[in-house]
Structure 1
Amino acid sequence: MRLRNIILITVIVPLFATLLVFSMVAIKSLEDNVRSKLQNEVQIITHAIGTTLSYALDNETPEAMQEALHSAFSFHRIYGAYVFDEDGEKIYGLGLGEELFEPEDIHAVAESGEQTGAYREHERWNYYSTLMPLTSSDGEVRGVLQVNRLNTGIENYTGFISLVAVAVFTVGAAGIALMIWWGFRRYIERPLNRLLGVMERVEKGDREHRASVEGPEEYRQLSVALNGMLDAMAEKDADIEARRQKEIELEKRLRKSKKLAELGVLAAGVAHEIGAPLTVINGQAQRLARSEHMSDEEQAKLQRIRSEVDRIVVIVRQLMDLGRQHNVEKESRHIGDLVTAALELLDEDVDIHSTRIEIDLPESAPEIVVNGQQIIQVITNLLHNALQATPGGHVRIKARFEDNEVNLLIEDDGPGIDDNVKNQVFDPFYTTKPVGQGSGLGLSMVHRIVNDHGGTVGVFDSELGGAGFDISLPLETYAVTSQDE
């Protein structure tokens, strides 16, 4: 059942019913009071003239009787006064209503000696008439006095007034109920429906929707409390989502580390098995190259064999380093020094590709605790890839320090990396370069080194138009130094 119906049934209806009962009781009390007053007035008038009439009957003086009856008409709304004998025969009388009582009624009053009264109707007129026995000085009943009083307007219409009062009360109650219903709908039901609408939208997934703070003070407080609860829930959801993402990232790192460990075991076995044959091949090629009977073309082919053997050795060594657990020996280094060292190693490549290098490092930055050679290797690998991706283009190196970590970003304006392969770029042997131009182990080494330092590395779309790599490393201990120092 709806709240407004409950209020109407439990509060409004009982209240109106109580008021109706009290109104009817009040009207009935008014009617009884009017009738009682009418009866008392008629009885007082009857007693007032009864003494004179008893004296006139006792002394048989018609003049006194006539004068007493005439005096009765001086009272308000007395319309008839009659004197009857013991048998109900009229002795003398004036006015209206002589036929209100039968002779038998009058005779019964004379025999009982007690005064009586009744409401009677005659010729569409309503009267209150009283009969009082007239006694002599010795107590003998000599006659009966009848006094008739015409009912007043309020006396005649008390029933009609009751009906009108009930009708007015009904109309007023309906109007009040309508006003209460309208006020309830406007100031209670509508604000509640707005709050309910907010909850339904939030339940359907619109977690950013909030209640408008308006209306009566209680609803404003309720809206503020609801918004606060939703904000708190949103913060909790964000915290849970952040923790879930961290768990996913940790799980990915664990799978990656497990994969690299398995790959390291495989690489160690492969290196052990192919190490001796590679040594034999390299030695025989070197011996043949020293022969004086070899032509230049044959010398070039032998040199090509030795170069490919050396490349195989390097790849095997990278595989072994990729899967091996490393104990990172760290030292305090300045990020600017690490970037400068990496650029010096690639100075020749920068000149060959005619690439513009933009360096954006903070003037005053804390030192980071890392293995300098490994971080230089990371920066070198990423810069090397950027230079190859954008010959004659633009490469930017940027560092930011916040929340006890350093973020190093390396971006280029090359063709970028497709979204569907971004999650594979750090996998071993994955490469977008042509066959023979890349082993697919460079970014895997970057991931392994950063992971060994307790950091993360990710790929994103750069503002320059190409690819960007974001390296995040924790600041385990730091001391603020100046770039110029």
Structure 2
Amino acid sequence: MRLRNIIIVTVIVPLFLILLVFSLVAIKSLEDNVRSKLQSEVQIITHTIGASLGYALAQDTPDSLQESLHSAFSFHRIYGAYVFDTEGRKIYGLGLGEELFTPEDIRQVAKNGESTGAYRQQDRWNYYSVLTPLNTPGGETRGVLQVNRLNTGVESYAGFISIVAVVVFAIGAAGIVLTIWWGFRRYIERPLNRLLGVMERVEKGDRGYRAPIRGPEEYRQLSQALNGMLDAMAEKDADIEARQQKEIELEKRLRKSKKLAELGVLAAGVAHEIGAPLTVINGQAQRLARHESLGDSERAKLTRIRNEVDRIVVIVRHLMELGRQHNVDKEACRLSDIIVTAQELLEDELASRQAHLELDLGEPEAVLMANAQQLTQVVTNLLHNALQATPHGRIRLRARCHDGELHVTVEDDGPGIDDADKNRVFDPFFTTKPVGQGSGLGLSVVHRIVNDHGGSIGVFDSELGGAGFDLTLPLENGPQQEIGAQ
């Protein structure tokens, strides 16, 4: 059952029933009081003129009898007065209602010596008539007096008034119920339906919808509370989603780290076995190059052998780095110092390629607990890749601190990385460079170093048009204060 119907059935209807019963009882009491007053008045009038009429009958003086009956009409609304003998025969009378009682009724009153009264109707007129015995001063009953009084408007229409009162009450009650129903629908049900509509829209997925703040103060407060609850739920959902995303990223990092560790162990074993033969090959090529009998062609070939051996040595060193168990020795270091060191290492390459490097390190200067040498290797590797992707182009390095983390992005305006290759750029031996220009281990080493520092790294499409790398590392508040105090 709806709330408005419950209120009408349990509150309004019982209240109206109580009022109806009270009104009917009041009308009935009023009617009884009016009739009781009428009866008392008629009995008083009858008693008053009865004494003089009894004396007139005892003296047998018709003039006194007529005078006493005429005096009865001086009272309000007395319409008939009659004197009968003990046998019910009229002696004298005036007015209306002579035949309201039968001779038998009159003889019974004369015999019993007690008054009687009744409501009687004659010729569409309503009367209250009283029969009272007329006694002589000696106590002998010589006749019966009949006095007729016409009912007043209230007396005549008491029943009609009751019916009209009930009808008016019913109409008024219906009007009040309809008014209450309309007011409930407009000021209670509609605002509640608006709030319910907000909840339904939110339930269906429209999490950004909010209740309008309008209406009575109570509904405004309820709307504000509902909106506050929805905002809190949205914040919680966003927090849960962010945590889930972080957990997903962490799981990806763990899988990749595990994969790199397994590959690193395998690669380290292979590198250890390759190291000794490479040293022999490099030494023998260097010794052969010293012979004076060799021509320029042979010397060039030996030089190429040595260069390729050096390239293999670099690859072996990277493989050894992947498979090694790393205990990062951290210390407080400034990001700006790391960037300056990386610039110095790439100074010649930056100049030869005529690339433009933009630096935006933000304020205040970022300080973190890390291995400065390893992070320098990370930044150097990322800048070196950007230089190779965009010679004579534009490179941008930006850094910002947010929520206890350092975010560093390195972007270029080169050709970028295909979407199909973005999930593989950190895999060992994967490279988009031409054969002979890359080992495919540089970004794997970068990923391993960042992971060892408790951070993360990802790739995205840069606004500059090329590739972008997003590096995130945890900050340490304590060391920042110590360095700032130095």
Question: By how many angstroms is 1:111 displaced?
Answer: 0.9
State the distance in 1 between where 2:38 and 2:473 align.
108
8 Å contact from structure 2 (residues 275, 316) kept in 1: no
More displaced 10-residue stretch of structure 1: 66-75 or 367-376:
367-376
Q: For residue 383 of structure 2, what is the aligned residue in structure 1?
A: 383
Match in the other structure for 2:155: 155
Q: Which amino acid aligns with 2:386?
A: A
Checking the alignment, whether the CA contact within 8 Å between 2:114 and 2:133 is kept in structure 1 is yes
Structure 2 unmatched ranges of 5 or more: none
Residue 277 of structure 1: how far off its partner (Å): 5.2
Written as runs of structure 1 = structure 2, the 5 A alignment for 1:234-383 is: 234-275=234-275, 278=278, 282=282, 296-297=296-297, 299-362=299-362, 365-383=365-383
Aligned-pair Cα RMSD in Å: 2.5
**Structure 2 match to 1:101:** 101
Structure 1 position 145 matched with structure 2 position 158: no
- Secondary structure class of the residue paired with 1:478: helix
Post-superposition offset of 1:366: 4.8
Alpha-carbon contact 1:130-1:147 (below 8 Å) kept: yes
Shift in Å, 1:295 = 5.6
Q: Is this contact kept in 1: 2:86–2:110, CA < 8 A?
A: yes
- Map Cα deviations across residues 230-289 of structure 1 (whole Å, 9 max, x no partner): 333333333333332332232222222211111111112322444455556556655665
Aligned to 2:468: 468
Aligned partner of 1:445 in structure 2 is 445
For residues 274 and 361 of structure 1, the distance between their equivalents in structure 2, rounded to whole angstroms, comes to 42
Question: Which residue identity does 1:376 align to in structure 2?
Answer: T
Kept in 2, the 8 Å contact 1:365–1:401? The answer is: no
The 1:93/1:379 distance shift into structure 2, 3 A limit, reads same
**What SS class does the counterpart of residue 414 from structure 1 fall into?**
coil
In structure 2, the residue matched to 1:44 is 44
Q: Distance in 2 between matches of 1:418 and 1:211?
A: 45
Give the superposition deviation at 1:31: 1.1
In 2, Cα distance between equivalents of 1:342 and 1:111: 143
Contact conserved, 2:366 with 2:406, CA < 8 A, in 1?
A: no
Distance in 2 separating the partners of 1:24 and 1:102:
36
* Partner-residue secondary structure (3-state), 2:329: coil
Deviation at 1:452, TM superposition (A): 1.5
For residue 416 of structure 1, give the secondary structure of its aligned residue in structure 2: coil
Does the CA contact (< 8 Å) of 2:24 and 2:162 recur in 1? Answer: yes
Closer, same or farther: CA 364–32 of 1 in aligned 2, 3 Å = closer
Higher mean alpha-carbon deviation, 446-455 vs 199-208, is at 199-208
SS at match of 2:314: helix
For structure 1, the residue ranges without an aligned partner over 5 or more in a row are none
Matched residue count: 483
Alpha-carbon shift at residue 220 of structure 1 (Å): 2.6
Q: 1:413 maps to what in 2?
A: 413
Deviates more, 1:139-148 or 1:328-337: 328-337
Change (3 A) 1:126 1:182: same
CA drift of 1:370 comes to: 2.6
Whether contact under 8 Å (2:97, 2:148) holds in the other structure is yes
Residue in structure 2 matched with residue 478 of structure 1 by the alignment: 480
Distance 2:173 2:366 in 1: 80
Q: Show the 5 A alignment for 1:79-228.
A: 79-228=79-228
Contact 1:366 1:480 survives alignment (8 Å)? no
Secondary structure at the counterpart of residue 48 of structure 2: helix
Q: How much has 1:26 moved relative to structure 2?
A: 0.7
> Are the structure 2 counterparts of residues 366 and 360 from structure 1 closer, same or farther at C-alpha, using a change threshold of 3 Å?
closer
Distance in 2 separating the partners of 1:421 and 1:44: 122
Q: Give the Cα separation in 2 of the matches to 1:357 and 1:160.
A: 106
Q: In the superposition, relative to structure 1, how do residues 480 and 395 fare at CA in structure 2: closer, same or farther (>3 Å)?
A: farther
**In 1: Cα distance, 2:473 partner to 2:96 partner:** 122
Q: After the TM superposition, which of the residue ranges 299-308 and 250-259 deviates more from structure 2?
A: 299-308
Q: How much does 1:453 deviate?
A: 1.9
Partner of 2:424: 424
* Deviation of the 1:189 alpha carbon: 1.4
Give me the whole-angstrom Cα distance separating, in 1, the residues matched to 2:188 and 2:57: 80
Structure 2 vs 1, CA of residues 402 and 240 (structure 1 numbering), >3 Å: closer, same or farther?
Answer: closer
